[in-house]
Structure 1
């Protein structure tokens, strides 16, 4: 039996590695559905058809119309990475104007095993709301990989967040699913 992973990505530089990440997740036995923030979809616009072919599912960045059928199978687990400052805070506050944040918020309510790996810079990570948002997500049962346990924020003012530990994130989501099995 194949488990379905919702891979949700914000617009941060590690999103450009998403095809490799999907292939890695598939090699681990996941059926991957890819969801993007609107900006991430814009960044990857030239490759969206290829990503849909790679996953076998439409890449989504917008809500469906009411009454339209859902084009993805139900999620067995969810990975939100890279999760930007905006996405993390929106998710924790329940602000679901973006498709991927809405899906992540529902996963929390459904008890779907969920892992988040933020990708932000040091300056934004020091904003008081960010730590509150991480605490809110953790209190909701989300495994948050940040700092010493995940991706460490890089300096402000650069477009290079440093190495993004995708393997760590995929390992964590596998463990999260096994804890609920």
Structure 2
């Protein structure tokens, strides 16, 4: 039986330094994970790319394939964008496909591939008028996800954030701890086990 495949796309927000934990957590739940990074996130993790490729068994991708170049990743069953920065959230909503991560996410929406987006940005960015509009556009396109919490809010509460479940089939839990100087994140993405009701 083929393992179900997750494309995990990570942007340049502080939690990206722990992306290996997200990969291992998903793998423990039966998912095969392919990791994609925005260009800045790739710079942040430049000295760990070999380790991450060994962990996933696939190339870490940050750019589009060249014309005629064969696909190196298996077909995906779900796309998870976490952490997602203000830039990526807005670009996905507006269809500005200037990076591989945004381009494939836009393609996933068009193909109706289950999509989860977990914004991770500070409260100042969250008040930008385009952010709210982008979240509504993405929800209207069927994406599941969460909204950012205030910096440090993860220390004050454990419930409430989570991932809004849709028929797409990825579920989440409450907010993770966020340092007072770090952006607030909606919560850790916790994929359902393949074959479970939440994974359908």
- TM-score scaled by structure 2? 0.80
On the 8 A contact 1:134/1:144 being kept in 2, the answer is: no
Alignment RMSD (CA, Å): 2.3
SS of structure 2 residue aligned to 1:22 = helix
**Alignment gaps of 5+ in structure 1:** none
CA distance in 1, matches of 2:138, 2:72: 27
What is the 5 A alignment of 1:154-169?
Answer: 158=181, 160-161=182-183, 165-166=187-188, 169=189
CA distance in 1, matches of 2:115, 2:184: 24
2:93 corresponds in structure 1 to 92
- TM-score scaled by structure 1? 0.88
1:145 corresponds in structure 2 to 146
CA distance in 2, matches of 1:25, 1:180: 12
2:7 corresponds in structure 1 to 6
Runs of 4+ in structure 1 over 4 Å off:
177-180
SS of structure 1 residue aligned to 2:21 = helix
Distance 1:155 1:129, change over 3 A: farther
CA distance in 1, matches of 2:184, 2:95: 29
1:27 corresponds in structure 2 to 28
On the 8 A contact 1:108/1:114 being kept in 2, the answer is: yes
Q: Number of residue pairs matched?
A: 174
Tell me which protein shows more helix as a share of its residues: 1
Query: Per-residue displacement from partner, 1:113-136 (whole Å, max 9, x unpaired)?
Result: 111100001011011100000000
CA distance in 2, matches of 1:28, 1:38: 28
CA distance in 1, matches of 2:95, 2:185: 29
Query: Per-residue displacement from partner, 1:7-52 (whole Å, max 9, x unpaired)?
Result: 0010000000011110110000000000000000000000001100
